[in-house]
Amino acid sequence: MSDVRHVLVLPDRDAAEEVVQALGDRFGVVEEPRLVRDALAGEDDAEDAQWLVVLRDEEERLDPGELDRFAGEWEGWREEP
pLDDT score, position 38: 85
Distance separating alpha carbons of residues 50 and 63, to the nearest angstrom: 23
Q: Kindly report the pTM of this predicted structure.
A: 0.85
Which of 78, 55, 79, 77 lies closest to 5 in space, CA to CA?
55
pLDDT score, position 16: 95
- Max CA separation in the chain (angstroms): 39
Sequential DSSP letters for 4-58: -EEEEEESSHHHHHHHHHHHHHHH---SPPEEEEEEPTT---GGGEEEEEEEE-T
> Which residues of the chain have a pLDDT value below 70?
1-2, 40-48
